[in-house]
Amino acid sequence: MSATTQPIDPPTPGHLAAITGLRGVAALWVMLFHLYEFSHHADLRIGAVDVSGWLASGYLGVDLFFVLSGFLLAPAFIDLTRRRGLRTFWRHRFRRVLPALWAQIVILLLVAALWGPGLPSAVEIFTNLTLSFNLLQNSSSINPVYWSLPVEWNFYLLLPLLALGFRGSARRVSLTIAAWIAFSIGFRLLCVWAYGRYGTEALELARWIIQLPGRIDQFVIGMGAAWLSLQTRFDSRRGGLLAWAGALAALGLAALASHVGNFMGDLLQPWVWLFYPLIALAFASLSLGVSSAPSGLIARLLSVRPLVWVGMISYSLYLWHLPFLQAFQHLFARPIGLTDSVLLSTVILLAAWLSFVWIERPFLPVRAASQHESRASGPA
């Protein structure tokens, strides 16, 4: 914080209904993406409008979660007047992430042992329980959506150090953000170069594009939006314009991602190194805009009760949606139809709510549980 800037009390983004609704959008977007994949890319034209492009890029809901993590968790470390001890922070992260994860792993392992292909190796089970499997590989055979959780987990470890660059003058903060974006882009370019030079031998390096350090710019951009919320009081008009700009940019980039295709898996330039910061800037603008203008149209749309409820259970929704879709595929061996989608979505939402009530909520701080507004870890 610069010497001439007085601290203010901005809206607390972690307790805004619109931000919780935005988490709901992220979780629903990921679920709809997988539903679309399991439908074998069903025709989704509504009149002249084809919405399949936005569903095909629903994996970007994970990117939204990463930006929201930086936006929601950074203020306690940036603003020294609200700093809490690291022990408290990590204790809350452990309680927020691990109980629901561990409970699901136990359930899925029981199902695999009794009715499935059997148990994975002891090493894989241990590395999934400790969110360290990314040291060996990107994916998990227990639940493929786990891939993003170590990314989030590693960010928690780095957050106190990253936040040091957000204390001081605006110039220092701007340089910090620019440096981390440049580092991430440079790392991804290095991966692309190594693959082009050494072929499959470089895949072990290239796989880190979707992990940290390859995704650090998205968290840092979210932190930058949080820093702005601490420094500047946006009026409703400016906040509303920022929210609209972020929403429209995100929709446009999502359509572009669908058109370009699997640019990360195929290492297509320039998108493989450029797309992450672009979509993160859009999501950060949207997050900052709705938190600054809670009475704006977009914030009010995100604050509708059903969407806020989905945001509240978003972590469990993220964890449970894919196992149910895989179970359907295993039992019926056919694409998911429209009626199937409605029934499955209902069952998945019910399972996510039960997971939240029975497993997540008992471990939440009393205040967060009473407000139904605990920060959802990872992609949730």
pLDDT tens per residue, range 189-217? 999 999 999 998 999 999 999 999 999 99
Q: Which residues of 224-239 are buried (b: 16+ CB within 10 A; e: fewer)?
A: bbbbbbbbeebeeeeb
Quick one: average pLDDT of 367-375? Answer: 45
- pLDDT, residue 81, reads 64
**How far is 371 from 312, CA to CA, in rounded Å?**
10
Q: For residue 34, which of 312, 326, 338, 354 has the smallest C-alpha distance?
A: 326
- Lowest-pLDDT range, 22-36, 164-178, 183-197, 356-370? 356-370
The angle that helices 17-38 and 314-332 make with each other, rounded to 10 degrees, is: 10
Q: Which two tokens stand for residue 328?
A: 């359907």
| 92-113 pLDDT tens trace | 999 999 999 999 999 999 999 9
**Percentage of the chain with pLDDT > 70?**
90
Distance of CA 108 to the CA centre of its chain: 23
Distance CA 89, CA 261 (A): 38
Identify whether the C-beta of residue 58 lies closer than 8 Å to the C-beta of residue 318: no
So what's the pLDDT on residue 216? 97
- Rounded Cα–Cα distance for residues 233 and 293 (Å): 10
Q: Which pTM was predicted?
A: 0.92
Q: Per-residue confidence at 16, pLDDT binned at 50, 70, 90?
A: confident
**Band of residue 14 on the pLDDT scale cut at 50, 70, 90:** very low
Q: What is the pLDDT of residue 349?
A: 98
Does residue 334 come out as left (phi exceeding 0), alpha (psi in the -120 to 50 range) or beta? beta
Percentage of the residues of the chain whose pLDDT score is greater than 90 = 77
